[in-house]
Structure 1
Amino acid sequence: MTADQGRQPRVFTGWHMLGVMVLFFGTIITVNLIMAWNASHSWSGLVVQNTYVASQQFNGKVKEARAFAESGLDGKLSLEPGAVRYTLTRQGKAETSADKVVAVFKRPVEEHEDVQVEMAHQGEGVFVAATDLKRGQWIADITATSGDKVVYRQAIRFIAPGERP
């Protein structure tokens, strides 16, 4: 008589099926709960507060962008350790018509790190803000004004180098 002849064959019982079902659906429910939590605690998906108002302003913004492009104005953003520099030029020469530059630095998909800074005038067409941006992708919405009049508006998407946050 061999050792295998004395054993009873294993039987798949209802308890085994219950265990399989609990593990299967437990895994699916756990993954869904984790994904729902991540979705509710990350980017809201909100781009504009009121889509109707934004659609009504679209043509005006396109017209303004074309006017800025035709004016010959150009802005250049550069990052330095501890500072952000914005240089405004017209056809390659320093532009002196702006007396104030405000920059809003935004993350493409999150709002909690957004920061607005007023850049200090440092000379002809040069504006500087003492701020450090964390490493990663940013969008800079820059508005140059002279008094109450908008001289130039620009959006720049860039990647800030540096140490890991």
Structure 2
Amino acid sequence: MNTQTKTGFTFTGWHMLASMLAFFGTIITVNFTMAYLASSTWSGLVVKNTYVASQEFNGKTAAIRAMLATGIEGELTVDRRGVVYHLTMPDQQVVEADVVTAHFKRPVGEKQNFMLTLLPAGDGRFVASKEILDGGWIVELIASRDGQTIMHEAERIFVAGE
């Protein structure tokens, strides 16, 4: 009679330790990687001081309602060569402004942000020539006449290579 027993794999404490280190090591590595990528690609700032922004909210809301009541509309055209902004009333009447500025902001990061002053080109059109890099932008446009803001809007655009 054969009394040999087949010896198989025995799961020991060392195996358990290796399994736990591999499992939690993977989780910790992924968490640190994601935290690093999140903090290195976006500042997280929408406004510099949230308390001050909350105190100014009602005043800004009233000003926007008054501006919208005028009926002025803006049409933005952006390509890699520059910017054209056209201001009109609903009946296509031309709106003139003294100063029009365009603040280009990347949705993520601040390194490539810039501001342009658009020059009048007649018939309510304002233009600026500048090479605009490809990608997504948030363009904040502010038009003023006699020191009063007559149009303030923001558009999210995407510039693609030609």
Structure 2 residue 123 is the aligned partner of structure 1 residue 124: yes
| CA positional deviation for 1:31 | 0.6
1: CA distance between counterparts of 2:113 and 2:68?
Answer: 27
**RMSD after superposition:** 2.2
Q: What residue is the counterpart of 1:102 in the other structure?
A: 101
Q: What residue is the counterpart of 1:53 in the other structure?
A: 52
Q: For residues 113 and 144 of structure 1, do their structure 2 counterparts lie closer, same or farther at Cα, with a shift above 3 Å needed?
A: same
Query: Quick one: which amino acid aligns to residue 143 of structure 1?
Result: I
1: CA distance between counterparts of 2:79 and 2:155?
Answer: 16
Q: For residues 159 and 80 of structure 1, do their structure 2 counterparts lie closer, same or farther at Cα, with a shift above 3 Å needed?
A: closer
| CA positional deviation for 1:6 | 8.4
Q: For residues 10 and 80 of structure 1, do their structure 2 counterparts lie closer, same or farther at Cα, with a shift above 3 Å needed?
A: closer
**Cα deviations across residues 95-149 of structure 1 (Å, max 9, x unaligned)?**
12x1221111122343233221111222231111223434443221111123533
Query: Quick one: which amino acid aligns to residue 62 of structure 1?
Result: T
2: CA distance between counterparts of 1:40 and 1:52?
Answer: 23
Q: What residue is the counterpart of 1:78 in the other structure?
A: 77
CA contact (8 A) 2:80 2:133 kept: no
Q: What residue is the counterpart of 1:40 in the other structure?
A: 39
User: Which consecutive unaligned segments of at least 5 residues does structure 2 have?
Assistant: none
Partner SS state of residue 41, structure 1? helix
| CA positional deviation for 1:7 | 5.7
Partner SS state of residue 93, structure 1? coil
Query: Quick one: which amino acid aligns to residue 52 of structure 2?
Result: V
Identity %: 45
TM-score, length of structure 2 as denominator length: 0.84
